[in-house]
């Protein structure tokens, strides 16, 4: 199962649309995971219309229209993995321990909010993934997203993709 992971798209505030490279990744994925801060329901509609399967949650910048359609935390099974998707996990210090306690029956936790790519594991094997942002790099060198493969209860081929800077 090919999984595309994104968060913090902030469309249309930080970009008018997702980069073409990311839309191509949407088309290639079996599952698209979005960890919040969509900002406008139009992107949710567009991804629902284009993704083979879409999983998401709302973020702190998402208003009532998005909160009516998306949960704060989503839990699904993908390729034998128990996956949870949430926008915020708090400060980086102590994140693994906090998340392992908050998500004890989870194999992979996808989160956003910081715009900082993150890939670590907590005691007990919880994998924490943050794809960064494909539209707002903040203090990061590049805008980013993740792809991965899930099969038989394993997450493999986790790849951080760096997007070219606009106008470059």
Domain CATH number, residue 44: 3.60.21.10
Is the C-alpha dihedral spanning 52, 55, 58, 59 positive or negative?
negative
Q: Hey, what are 4's tokens? A: 């595309």
| Helical spans, DSSP H, in the chain | 20-28, 41-50, 64-69, 95-102
Specify the pLDDT at position 168. Answer: 46
DSSP three-state, residue 97: helix
Which carries the bigger pLDDT value, residue 14 or residue 42? 42
Give the model confidence (pLDDT) of 88-100 as tens digits. 999 999 999 999 9
Specify the pLDDT at position 123. Answer: 87
Specify the pLDDT at position 166. Answer: 64
Average pLDDT of the segment spanning 123-147: 95
Contact 102, 133 (CB under 8 A): no
The answer as to whether 45 is a domain residue is yes
The answer as to whether 67 is a domain residue is yes
The answer as to whether 135 is a domain residue is yes
Pair type for strands 108-110 and 127-130? parallel
Give the model confidence (pLDDT) of 34-56 as tens digits. 999 999 999 999 999 999 999 99
Give the model confidence (pLDDT) of 63-79 as tens digits. 999 999 999 999 999 99
Domain that holds residue 61: 2-163
Nearest in space to 114 (alpha carbons), one of 94, 101, 130: 130
| Domain count of the fold of the chain | 1
The answer as to whether 168 is a domain residue is no
State how far the Cα of 168 lies from the Cα of 157, in Å rounded to an integer.
Answer: 28
Average pLDDT of the segment spanning 13-23: 93
Question: In sequence order, which residues have a C-beta less than 8 Å from that of residue 68 and are 6 or more positions away?
Answer: none
- To the nearest whole percent, how much of the chain has pLDDT over 90? 90
pTM for the structure as a whole: 0.96
Of the pLDDT bands very low, low, confident and very high (cuts 50, 70, 90), residue 164 is confident
The answer as to whether 158 is a domain residue is yes
Question: In sequence order, which residues have a C-beta less than 8 Å from that of residue 119 and are 6 or more positions away?
Answer: 127, 128, 129, 130, 146, 158, 160
Mean pLDDT of the chain: 95
Contact 26, 47 (CB under 8 A): yes
Of the pLDDT bands very low, low, confident and very high (cuts 50, 70, 90), residue 14 is confident
The answer as to whether 86 is a domain residue is yes
């Amino acid at each position: 199962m090919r999984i595309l992971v994104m968060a913090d798209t902030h469309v249309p505030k930080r970009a008018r649309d997702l980069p073409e490279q990311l839309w191509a990744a949407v088309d290639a994925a079996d599952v698209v995971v979005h960890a919040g801060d969509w900002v406008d329901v139009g992107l949710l509609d567009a991804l629902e219309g284009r993704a083979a399967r879409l999983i998401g949650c709302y973020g702190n910048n998402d208003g009532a229209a998005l909160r009516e359609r998306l949960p704060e935390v989503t839990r699904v099974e993908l390729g034998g993995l128990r996956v949870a998707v949430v926008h915020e996990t708090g400060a980086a210090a102590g994140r693994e321990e906090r998340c392992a306690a908050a998500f004890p029956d989870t194999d992979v936790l996808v989160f956003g909010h910081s715009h900082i790519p993150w890939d670590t594991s907590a005691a007990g094997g919880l994998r924490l993934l943050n794809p960064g942002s494909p539209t707002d790099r903040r203090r990061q060198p590049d805008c980013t997203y993740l792809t991965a493969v899930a099969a038989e209860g394993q997450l493999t081929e986790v790849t951080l993709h760096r997007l070219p800077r606009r106008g470059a």
